[in-house]
A and B are shown apart, each in its own frame.
Chain A
Amino acid sequence: MNASPAGRFGVALDVTLDLPLASLGSRALAQLLDMVLLQTVQIAILLLGALLAGLAGLAAEDAPTWVFAGVLILMFCLQWGWFAAWELAWEGQTPGKRALGLRVVADDGSTAGTVAILLRNLLRTVDFFPAGYLLGLLVMFFHPQSKRVGDLAAGTLVVSETRAPVRRRRWPAGLRAPELQLLGVWFERLPALSPDRRHPLASKLVERLRGTNPELLGGLPEDPVEALAALCPEEP
């Protein structure tokens, strides 16, 4: 259908499942979201720790140092384990990845194992080398499956999960593959199209259907946008 790079996994019956790979941009954005969340949590822990240490100081003189020690341990674990913990808990997703519909999977499309998740996240230091994820971005840019160093080591991929359409439609009989695809893309993109662009595109589609499936167009509204909606009505 399209030539965008995809992860290919054998599923049952010798069928290959093809899932689009996460693009560099969406992965960077997911990373940014996760980092913002991580730093928010870290700041919250520091503030809570300071508060707790103050309270502990009233109870016993050396109690605050234990609070500080605990805060240090927590910060270290967050630093090294934030991404891995989410990916283990959410089967390959972090909050940022979930927001963007990305998921880490093993090379065969199965859920990535614990060791793989740890590896790909502990090796972030290398992807970060020498600064600002430079090495990771370069490796991802040149790798055919957009892997960073951590993914290479762990044998993992980041795929973009296709999401099922929210509303289903009732399709008329007699449509052939090219028109089905056009209509599918039309309804998928309709909410994002500005009103002044809907009309010309819809009339082109109707024009095409007039050539391929003239029997379907009888009794439909005059306006092409409404005609298409009436042709494939949403199911309740």
Chain B
Amino acid sequence: MDYARFVATRRADWDEVRALLGAHGRRRAHELGYAELEGLMARHRALVADFAWARTHFPGSEAEVELRALVFAGHRLFTPPEEPLGARLVSFFRVGYPARFRASLGLLQVALALFLGGMLVGLVVTTLSEDSAALFIGTDGVELLRSGQIWTDQLEETTPGSLLAVRIFLNNIGVALVAWAGGALFGLGTVYAVTFNGAMVGSMVAICVRYGLLDRLLAFIPAHGMLELFLITVAGAAGLELASGLLRPGEASRGAAFTASAARSVELVGGTVPWFVLLGLVEGFLSPLMGIPTPVKTALGLTLLGVFLVYALAPAPRTSA
């Protein structure tokens, strides 16, 4: 067929489909009625046929360019719909997250081992050579502790709880996300982040022991610290999961395995976010209160950790189906 005739006979159809696609605009195909959708799909198929014809016989022509854009717009319109975000979040936190957590226990053990190993290294190294603490907690932090003070001392007076809580949970979420994302560097970033966080804790404990500040550290940490550090290792496990597709692709191609492991891992780290917010509030409002006796804080901390573990490890609720 001659190009002029092709364009002259078919162009009216293209205009109609363009108008239909434009009219649907940001509505997805699933919001259309059946008849409407069926009609649109038939028209789109005709458009695809015209596009194939134009590409073969008139490559580079105006019609080919125009049809390519229209075919693409139609193709995207027919993308299968996702459930509404709210419903997906509810089912994720009810069922999806615990299931993901239970499936990741092996990697969680590895992450815990890395964290505890780092802690041990920090503890031992700092006990042997006090100056090494600067590596882990910075010279300012060490100086403060050496002068017999601990940063938690003035916290209650200097920083309002609201600001403290927000700063803490944003910082922790950031640390968790970075520890997870580091998994994409074949796991190296994650291993570094988790081990280093462990070493920071170990080093801090060693310095506090040395300068007789341990009781004050223990008066601050236990309400929020246990679950918080545990969740950092969960983020580390997510980072190892992310890396697993790259390191152990199994029978899939490395690319496909990475895409699959990435989707699993983002669930594992994403589910920790609300818990970090909760812990930030505890750390900002309750932990600085030195009036609360340490055993009470410890009990609260254990309860928080227990609630998380029961939530994440309990058997999946039966679906009504």
Chain A positions near chain B (C-beta within 8 angstroms): 1, 9, 11-13, 15, 17-19, 62, 65-66, 68-69, 72-73, 76, 80, 91, 105-106, 109-111, 113-116, 118-119, 122-123, 125-126, 129, 149, 152-155, 161-165, 168-175, 177, 180-181, 184-185, 187
Contacts and interface: CB of A to CB of B under 8 A. Distances in A.
Contacts of B242: 153
Contacts of B255: 152
Contact of A129 (B68, B74, B185): B185
Contacts of B137: none
Contacts of B162: 62, 65-66, 69
Contacts of A187: 62
A114 B82 contact: yes
The 6 closest A-B pairs by CB, nearest first: A181-B60, A153-B262, A110-B79, A173-B4, A69-B166, A111-B79
B62 A184 contact: yes
25 contacts: A9-B75, A11-B71, A11-B74, A13-B45, A66-B162, A69-B162, A69-B165, A72-B163, A91-B26, A115-B266, A118-B270, A119-B266, A122-B177, A123-B184, A125-B177, A126-B182, A129-B189, A152-B255, A165-B62, A171-B4, A175-B2, A175-B4, A180-B58, A181-B58, A187-B62
Given A110-B75, A175-B3, A68 B163 contact: yes
Contacts, number: 156
A13 B259 CA distance: 28
Given A15-B48, A153-B242, A118 B62 contact: no
Interface string B51-87: 1100001111110011011111011101110100100
A115 to B, nearest CB: 6
Given A154-B259, A171-B3, A172-B4, A165 B66 contact: yes
B318 interface: no
A180 B61 contact: yes
A72 B2 CA distance: 64
Interface string B1-41: 01111010001000000000000001000000000000001
B79 to A, nearest CB: 4
Interface string B229-255: 000000000000010000000000001
Given A73-B166, A149-B184, 14 more contacts: A68-B163, A76-B170, A76-B173, A110-B76, A114-B82, A115-B266, A123-B184, A126-B182, A126-B185, A152-B255, A154-B259, A163-B69, A168-B11, A187-B62
Interface of B: 2-5, 7, 11, 26, 41, 44-45, 48-49, 51-52, 57-62, 65-66, 68-72, 74-76, 78-80, 82, 85, 88, 160, 162-163, 165-167, 170, 173-174, 177-178, 181-182, 184-185, 189, 242, 255, 258-259, 262-263, 266, 270
